[in-house]
């Protein structure tokens, strides 16, 4: 296949790029590097099956060569208000990536008669009142809240994708991605995994915002990419959750990181600075992924965190040297 991936320099986009090239496909990576990292693609500079378009996905995209697949992954994704990479600090860019970026990539797929995949998110469920969250749940979102620029951009993107499928006949897929972690996460993106690991490696107390009783379900990146590849090759047009259903409280998650790093500094609970609209519970119902794709995660949380810790330890050593 000839594939265009928007957000190719991002955490997930770069892993998907590697997978497709390893399978023998040709990849055109599109990124404007607002949150993407050039280092994630540096190993592909001499790869004959890879080329890079440095462009904002919210502007018109023209590709002269034929395309078989368009995958839209470009968007800021961190909810951190302290990191410059967090979508609270990139609100307009986030909305444009979800709205104009989805429109442009869908138009590109339509023009080339290519298949299309939208990387959506568990954030479309908001702070859920149903647990775990199946794809049939419509969500509990504040359309003007602090997380709305990301939540509503993705909800609009899903609606637009289905409109192109139903009205124009574009062969579309929608993956709802739950919390994912692993190598190539940016150290400065402000999310819990890089924050906790860096504090643990510095032998500092791990800072928890809120009570720490809020839960997440963390999926290792290799498992997620497996799920996306299976969805790409399926005939499924409705949204599919891809994530690890193992639910864990943020406190227990932080304690596990301290255990794996040998950090004895403990935890620092900061109940006054929890991000607004922060979901109380988050756990995917992956029944559809199991049934339709034959997919479920294989890497345990402990195994995945060990790999992520090794990666971030190396990155921190490189940063110091």
Residue 130 main-chain phi, psi, to 5 deg? -115, 135
- Across the chain, mean pLDDT equals 95
Q: Give the tens place of pLDDT for each residue, 33-44.
A: 999 999 999 999
Per DSSP, the residues of 155-172 read HHHHHHHHHHHHHH---E
Q: In the CATH hierarchy, which fold is given to the domain comprising 2-183+218-245+281-299? A: Rossmann fold (3.40.50)
User: At residue 272, does pLDDT exceed 70?
Assistant: no
Under 8 Å CB-to-CB from 190, ≥6 apart: which residues? 78, 79, 80, 81, 82, 83, 85, 86
User: At residue 320, does pLDDT exceed 90?
Assistant: no
**Using 50, 70 and 90 to split pLDDT, how confident is the model at 265?**
very high
**Using 50, 70 and 90 to split pLDDT, how confident is the model at 274?**
low
pLDDT of residue 183: 96
pLDDT of residue 55: 97
pLDDT of residue 73: 98
Count of beta carbons in the 10 Å neighbourhood of residue 93: 21
- How many residues appear in the chain? 321
Q: Give the tens place of pLDDT for each residue, 183-226.
A: 999 988 889 999 999 999 999 999 998 889 999 999 999 999 99
Beta-bridged to residue 211, according to DSSP, are none
Residues serving a catalytic function are: 150
Q: Rounded mean pLDDT of 78-103?
A: 95
Q: Give the tens place of pLDDT for each residue, 283-313.
A: 999 999 999 999 999 999 999 999 999 999 9
């Amino acid at each position: 296949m000839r594939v265009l991936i928007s957000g190719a320099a991002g955490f997930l986009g770069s892993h998907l790029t590697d997978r497709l090239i390893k399978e023998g496909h040709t990849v055109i990576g599109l990124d404007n590097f607002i949150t993407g990292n050039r280092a994630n693609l540096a190993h592909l500079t001499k790869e004959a099956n890879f080329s890079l378009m440095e462009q904002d996905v919210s502007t018109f995209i023209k590709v002269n060569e034929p395309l078989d697949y368009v995958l839209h992954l470009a968007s800021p994704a961190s909810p951190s208000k302290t990191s410059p990479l967090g979508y609270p600090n990139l609100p307009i860019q986030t909305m444009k990536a979800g709205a104009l970026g989805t429109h442009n990539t869908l138009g590109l797929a339509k023009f080339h008669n290519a298949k299309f995949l939208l990387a959506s998110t568990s954030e479309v469920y908001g702070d859920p009142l149903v647990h775990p969250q199946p794809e049939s749940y419509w969500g509990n979102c504040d359309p003007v809240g602090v997380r709305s620029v990301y939540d509503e951009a993705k909800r609009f993107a899903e609606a637009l994708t289905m409109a192109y499928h139903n009205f124009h006949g574009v062969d579309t897929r929608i993956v709802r991605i739950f919390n994912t972690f692993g190598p190539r996460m940016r150290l400065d993106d402000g999310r819990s995994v890089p924050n906790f690991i860096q504090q643990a490696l510095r032998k500092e107390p791990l800072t928890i915002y809120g009570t720490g009783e809020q839960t997440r379900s963390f999926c290792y990146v290799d498992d997620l990419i497996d799920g996306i590849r299976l969805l790409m090759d399926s005939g499924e047009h409705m949204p599919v959750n891809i994530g690890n259903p193992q639910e864990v409280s943020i406190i227990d998650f932080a304690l596990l990181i301290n255990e794996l790093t040998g950090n004895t500094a403990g935890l620092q609970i900061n109940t006054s600075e929890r991000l607004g609209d922060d979901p109380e519970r988050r756990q995917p119902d992956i029944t559809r992924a199991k049934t339709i794709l034959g997919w479920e995660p294989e890497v345990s949380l402990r195994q995945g965190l060990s790999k992520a810790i090794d990666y971030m330890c190396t990155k921190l050593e490189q940063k110091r040297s």
